[in-house]
Structure 1
Amino acid sequence: MVNATEIDPGKKRSIHALEATNFFLADVQTGLGPFLAAYLAGAGWEPGRVGMALTIGGIITVALQAPAGAIVDQLRSKRLILVLASAVLAVGAVLLSITAAPWAVYTSQLLIGGAGPFLGPTLAAVTMGMIGVTFFDRQFGKNQSFNSAGNVACALLIAGMSHLFGNRAIFITAAVLTIPTVLAIRAIKSKDIDYNLSRGGASQVDGKEVPARASVMKTLLGDRVLLVFLGCAFLFHFANAAMLPQLGEMLSHGAKATAAPFMSACIIVTQVVIMCFASAIGRFANLHGRKPLLMVGFGVLPIRALLYTLTHNAGSLIAIQILDGVANAIFVVVSILVVADRTRGTGRFNLVQGSLATAVGLGAALSNTFGGELIQHFSYRISFVSLGAIAALAFVLLWTAIPETLPSANEPDKDVSSPATPQELPT
């Protein structure tokens, strides 16, 4: 089996810088995401208003995901995209640290929602451009391990900062962490990123000449499997996104001082699972296929929702987050591999990544509003049961309508999408 040590040694420094970028960028995003609901609830915001605030950022994210992917396909300076997006996130964090007034919260959500869509596609594009198709699944899984390690480190840091200086310190910390993020991005060498590979382009597929870039209609709208998978991704995040923020809200009403430490503990459990297994998931998916892993990831989500209704014990709720780690570890790695499978040789890898992120963002945004309204009119238990039912629907759709996407000819040491080139294989 070809392993990661056989990648061009000249690219090692850039690969390590890419891994560091995943680590530090996760720090920034962690400080801006899961803690916001608990922060607003602790500041006196009602569940419905919290859901609406989160939805605003989600709407901007949804609107920009596909265009962001198309822009990433077009622009050669991937590092510049990452630097600018990180700076915008820092401005949003500073606003939240100043005040929880509606104008600041909504403005920060516009900024965060506008920057977020560029990060995932660009990181994946840089990975594909440096590694090539042959090693992409393994390196992408490794990237996610570093991303989760960053989430764990940031969650621990935020727990300490919020305990010592209050919840606003969460967002100051996120802004400061932009500095090492930018330094890591700048350590990636531009010459190590192949532009054509970074957008999923290839001169040949299965020995046949292909255009430099396939049409959007053919790549996205003409692929039934891809469209159904986007529907599965939407339902998965519609069910999943509101669960952890709802737990934070529920506990912050009873004990505001313990809300941030509890959220940190939940995030740590989830991210430790991802950190430990993401790299192995990439390798398993390469050897045994994508669908078995996806079935496991989608299957644990309704179980998690049901378990949340059975206890309010903090220790038990934190333990349940192991299932969240399993589901998210599988989804964040394997969903991008499915996109890579369906877009090989099209030059539309990042555009379709953006479309996947649109489905994810739309599901997450509607999830927060949906869950907030159910809590306000019924109860937390009704909300969790309803989200679990949606998760079960996503599982059934995946089971019945999505085939295995890993090409049957794909061997661990063979690139089936394009012939070996100096950019893809070791010199």
Structure 2
Amino acid sequence: MAERHGRATGSGRAVAEGSTDLHPRKLDLLNLTLVDVNGGLRPYLNVFLLVHRDWSATTVGLVTTVAGLIGVALQAPLGAAVDAVHDKRLAIVAALVFASLGAAVIAIWPYFWPVLVAFTLLTAAGSSFTPTVAGLTLGIFPKSRLARRMGRNSAWYRGGNVAIAVLIALVGYGFPDRAVFFLVPALSFLAAAAVLSIPRDIVGQEMAEAVKPEGGGSASAWRVLVGSRPLLVFAGAIFLFQLANGPLASLVGQKISLAHPNWSAAITSTTIIAAQVVMLPMAVLVGRFADGWGRKPIILFAFAMLPVRALLYTVSDEPAWLFAVQTLEGVSTGLYSAIKPLILADVMDDKSRYNLASGAVATVQGIAIALSNVLAGGVVDWSGFGAAFLVSAVIGTAAAILITRMPEPSERRASG
């Protein structure tokens, strides 16, 4: 065991100290090819079902909500299974396979029950990508380089989302509407090739030695969550943030696509691209300044931008205005996505129980995203898009207020 630990530590140090740039480049490629299920594929799925399959907004919201909740319930046992896998690369490959199967089923059988099962697979698989990559990063890079590497991960991930959104627009315009979903297997193949190109000993050992899995599955995760006040406040604020933010991109895409159904894929992709282009520099900003500015000012600003954006959607129905406002998602979501793993690492003392904390927060986030769709769909059917935007603004304001109660994570770690 001691010899194995020495090899793993030495390999990780070689990467961290820059003696080779092999592994950072492969992490870049992995982040570039991962599909953002919630931010990229879910809005197009909602538009596809509403505009091209004539589903009601309530039914669309119901399917995505139920699928999301089932996916959340599966996260704890799936996380325990991943902890038990020695070769972590295989866990990512398995998730990519399930995501590909889910997307293919939606394309071939776009009916209620097949879509429900398929989107459950997609949600469960997609939610595991970012935490797994963050966990691998924690095991490879030292604290002094962690913020920059996490920012770089997020920047490449956002850059990939922009490229994927462009592909969705091109495929959606030139081919039948359901062809978009076949992009997922193609991209999953590239992502699998990227992760398998990372040497097995680097991936397999650093997390096994640095992060000690705990028994109890989801019960352990909830004990960690309830036992840490900063983590509990952070999770509560994330729940409100995602409950408000989850449906906004889909609502904008649906609103414009109903007026221009033949351009639904291009319109949905444009709304995604508008946000993702802004998210990329936000990720770089977090990587460069998170240590100097602190975590809390960044997350507070990210949360405060959400209700502003939701209110601006109600000012005009013009597509140009809605697209312009959608770029503000890049500020709020871009900052939040890049700073979240750093806050979790600080609160949980970097690697100790990081996976448990990440799993608990991911569960809370998944519940919020799932509920947000049925809530927004019901409000739209009941009182229109404007009312749905106002509800999101109120919930987003509550999230920003709650995050002010969280202690500065980096100061807490330093004082500890």
Say yes or no: TM over 0.5: yes
Q: Of 96, 108, 119, which aligns to 2:129?
A: 119
1:225 and 2:221 correspond: no
1:403 and 2:413 correspond: no
Note if contact 2:15-2:23 (Cα within 8 Å) is conserved in structure 1: no
- The whole-number CA distance in structure 1 between the counterparts of 2:367 and 2:92 is 23
Note if contact 1:27-1:177 (Cα within 8 Å) is conserved in structure 2: no
Which amino acid in structure 2 is aligned with residue 128 of structure 1?
Answer: L
Secondary structure at 1:34 match in 2: helix
Which amino acid in structure 1 is aligned with residue 74 of structure 2?
Answer: L
Secondary structure at 1:45 match in 2: coil
Note if contact 1:61-1:114 (Cα within 8 Å) is conserved in structure 2: yes
The answer for the alignment partner of 1:8 in structure 2 is 17
User: What do residues 98-148 of structure 1 show as CA deviations (whole Å, max 9, x unaligned)?
Assistant: 132223211211211332332222111111112133322211110111101
The answer for the alignment partner of 1:189 in structure 2 is 199
- The whole-number CA distance in structure 2 between the counterparts of 1:384 and 1:157 is 28
1:383 and 2:393 correspond: no
1:154 and 2:164 correspond: yes
> Quick one: structure 1 residues 27 and 154, their matched pair in 2 at CA, closer, same or farther if it must change by over 3 Å?
farther
Q: Once the 2 structures are TM-superposed, how far is the Cα of residue 180 of structure 1 from its aligned partner?
A: 0.9
> Quick one: structure 1 residues 282 and 44, their matched pair in 2 at CA, closer, same or farther if it must change by over 3 Å?
same
Correspondence 1:318-329 to 2 at 5 A? 318-329=323-334
Secondary structure at 1:175 match in 2: helix
Q: Once the 2 structures are TM-superposed, how far is the Cα of residue 190 of structure 1 from its aligned partner?
A: 2.0
Secondary structure at 2:411 match in 1: coil
Q: Once the 2 structures are TM-superposed, how far is the Cα of residue 212 of structure 1 from its aligned partner?
A: 8.7
The answer for the alignment partner of 2:10 in structure 1 is none
The answer for the alignment partner of 1:334 in structure 2 is 339
- The whole-number CA distance in structure 1 between the counterparts of 2:125 and 2:94 is 8
Note if contact 1:238-1:364 (Cα within 8 Å) is conserved in structure 2: yes
Q: Of 176, 181, 192, which aligns to 2:186?
A: 176
1:260 and 2:265 correspond: yes
Please report the RMSD computed on the Cα atoms of aligned residues, expressed in angstroms: 2.5
The answer for the alignment partner of 1:110 in structure 2 is 120
Q: Once the 2 structures are TM-superposed, how far is the Cα of residue 198 of structure 1 from its aligned partner?
A: 6.7
Which amino acid in structure 2 is aligned with residue 32 of structure 1?
Answer: L
In structure 1, stretches of 5+ residues that fail to align are 202-210, 411-415, 418-427
Q: Once the 2 structures are TM-superposed, how far is the Cα of residue 346 of structure 1 from its aligned partner?
A: 6.2
Secondary structure at 1:318 match in 2: helix
Note if contact 2:57-2:380 (Cα within 8 Å) is conserved in structure 1: yes
- The whole-number CA distance in structure 2 between the counterparts of 1:161 and 1:122 is 29
- The whole-number CA distance in structure 2 between the counterparts of 1:390 and 1:27 is 24
Aligned residues: percent identity?
33
> Quick one: structure 1 residues 126 and 221, their matched pair in 2 at CA, closer, same or farther if it must change by over 3 Å?
same
Q: Once the 2 structures are TM-superposed, how far is the Cα of residue 33 of structure 1 from its aligned partner?
A: 2.4
Which amino acid in structure 2 is aligned with residue 336 of structure 1?
Answer: P
User: What do residues 25-79 of structure 1 show as CA deviations (whole Å, max 9, x unaligned)?
Assistant: 1377766322100000111000000101111221122213344444444433211
Note if contact 2:344-2:350 (Cα within 8 Å) is conserved in structure 1: no
Correspondence 1:360-375 to 2 at 5 A? 360-375=365-380
Correspondence 1:222-371 to 2 at 5 A? 222-344=227-349, 347-371=352-376
**Superposition TM-score, scaled by structure 1 size:** 0.87
Which amino acid in structure 2 is aligned with residue 25 of structure 1?
Answer: L
Note if contact 2:37-2:122 (Cα within 8 Å) is conserved in structure 1: no
Q: Once the 2 structures are TM-superposed, how far is the Cα of residue 244 of structure 1 from its aligned partner?
A: 1.0
- The whole-number CA distance in structure 2 between the counterparts of 1:372 and 1:362 is 16
Note if contact 1:70-1:350 (Cα within 8 Å) is conserved in structure 2: no
The answer for the alignment partner of 1:421 in structure 2 is none
Which amino acid in structure 1 is aligned with residue 49 of structure 2?
Answer: L
Which amino acid in structure 2 is aligned with residue 159 of structure 1?
Answer: A
Which amino acid in structure 1 is aligned with residue 317 of structure 2?
Answer: H
1:86 and 2:91 correspond: no
Q: Of 9, 23, 31, which aligns to 1:22?
A: 31
The answer for the alignment partner of 1:39 in structure 2 is 48
Secondary structure at 1:285 match in 2: helix
> Quick one: structure 1 residues 243 and 5, their matched pair in 2 at CA, closer, same or farther if it must change by over 3 Å?
farther
Note if contact 1:14-1:188 (Cα within 8 Å) is conserved in structure 2: yes
Which amino acid in structure 2 is aligned with residue 93 of structure 1?
Answer: A
- The whole-number CA distance in structure 1 between the counterparts of 2:110 and 2:15 is 50
Note if contact 1:29-1:174 (Cα within 8 Å) is conserved in structure 2: no
With 57-66 and 292-301 compared, the bigger mean Cα shift is at 57-66
Give the count of matched residue pairs.
Answer: 399
Secondary structure at 1:403 match in 2: coil
> Quick one: structure 1 residues 376 and 12, their matched pair in 2 at CA, closer, same or farther if it must change by over 3 Å?
same
1:76 and 2:86 correspond: yes
Note if contact 1:125-1:198 (Cα within 8 Å) is conserved in structure 2: no
Secondary structure at 1:402 match in 2: coil
Note if contact 2:72-2:124 (Cα within 8 Å) is conserved in structure 1: no
The answer for the alignment partner of 2:398 in structure 1 is 393
The answer for the alignment partner of 2:8 in structure 1 is none
Note if contact 2:89-2:203 (Cα within 8 Å) is conserved in structure 1: no
- The whole-number CA distance in structure 1 between the counterparts of 2:176 and 2:394 is 37
Q: Which has the higher helix share?
A: 2
- The whole-number CA distance in structure 2 between the counterparts of 1:286 and 1:200 is 23
